[in-house]
Amino acid sequence: MASAFCLPLAIASTLAQYTNLPDVAPGLFNVSARIQIDNTNISAAWDALTNFPDYPKWNPFVRSSVVVDSRNISLSIQRPVENSQLLLCVQLPALPLPVNENTQGNPLNTQLSYENVTHVQPERGRLAWEYYPNPLMAAERWQALSVNGNGQVLYESREVFSGTLAPLTQKLYQQKLQESFNAQAQGLRLWLQGGYRP
């Protein structure tokens, strides 16, 4: 009896879950999030993810992302372009939702990081940047949009960490990063469902 009931579950669990994230090499650990966002479309969601000046209005994790040149000077077009550099200001852990541009961060949880934009693929709904290329730690964050089997927008994000500093990063930050990825996914859903206008 029991095994007859268990069989379909066992078969289901061997089917890979649908994803629009690319296959990447495994690292020491990764953090990820996925969320279905109803009543929106890919183009509005893509616009939200790539419109950096609006991040403070909805993003509880990446409170700002500024496209800068090699001298750390902010560029006039604040959208991701491959091989450009980003200066991220993150809250780790993320702030409680909802947030807006006036929500104050906790100075003790504020971290700055430089990221190199590696992939901007609007036709595939994919975007990626990596922790500033360095020998001690590799960490590339992918974000992907697609339409899932329910005909709704699926937002996914995943960052894989490897390198000498990865064990320490895992110990100190894995859980906070995981919570923050979830918080950003929920923040994006709130923003897109709250009457977002590009």
Ligand X SMILES: *[C@@H]1O[C@H](CO)[C@@H](O)[C@H](O)[C@H]1NC(C)=O
Q: By C-beta, is 7 or 74 nearer to ligand X?
A: 74
Token pair of 28 as six digits: 């020491």
Contact flag: residue 62 with ligand X (CB under 6 A): no
Residue 29 Cα distances to 141, 145, 153, 171, 180, angstroms: 12, 22, 27, 11, 15
In angstroms, what is the minimal distance from the CB of 76 to ligand X?
15
In angstroms, what is the minimal distance from the CB of 85 to ligand X?
4
Q: How many residues bind ligand X (CB under 6 A)?
A: 14
Contact flag: residue 91 with ligand X (CB under 6 A): no
Q: Which of 22, 53, 122, 133 binds ligand X (CB under 6 A)?
A: 133
Contact 60, 176 (CB under 8 A): no
Contact 190, 98 (CB under 8 A): yes
Judged by CB under 6 A, the chain residues 169 through 198 that form the site for ligand X are none
Contact flag: residue 85 with ligand X (CB under 6 A): yes
**103 C-beta neighbours (distance < 10 Å), count:** 15
Contact flag: residue 44 with ligand X (CB under 6 A): yes
Contact flag: residue 51 with ligand X (CB under 6 A): no
Contact flag: residue 160 with ligand X (CB under 6 A): yes
Residue 151, C-beta contacts closer than 8 angstroms, at least 6 positions apart: none
d(CA 125, CA 80): 13
Task: With contacts defined by CB under 6 A, name the span among 5-13, 23-31, 49-57, 168-176 that binds ligand X.
Answer: 23-31
Q: Which of 3, 13, 14, 83 binds ligand X (CB under 6 A)?
A: 83
Q: By C-beta, is 7 or 175 nearer to ligand X?
A: 175
Q: What is the DSSP letter of 103?
A: P
Contact flag: residue 67 with ligand X (CB under 6 A): no
Contact 68, 75 (CB under 8 A): yes
d(CA 59, CA 188): 7
Residues that bind ligand X (CB under 6 A): 24, 26-27, 30, 41, 43-44, 72, 83, 85, 87, 116, 133, 160
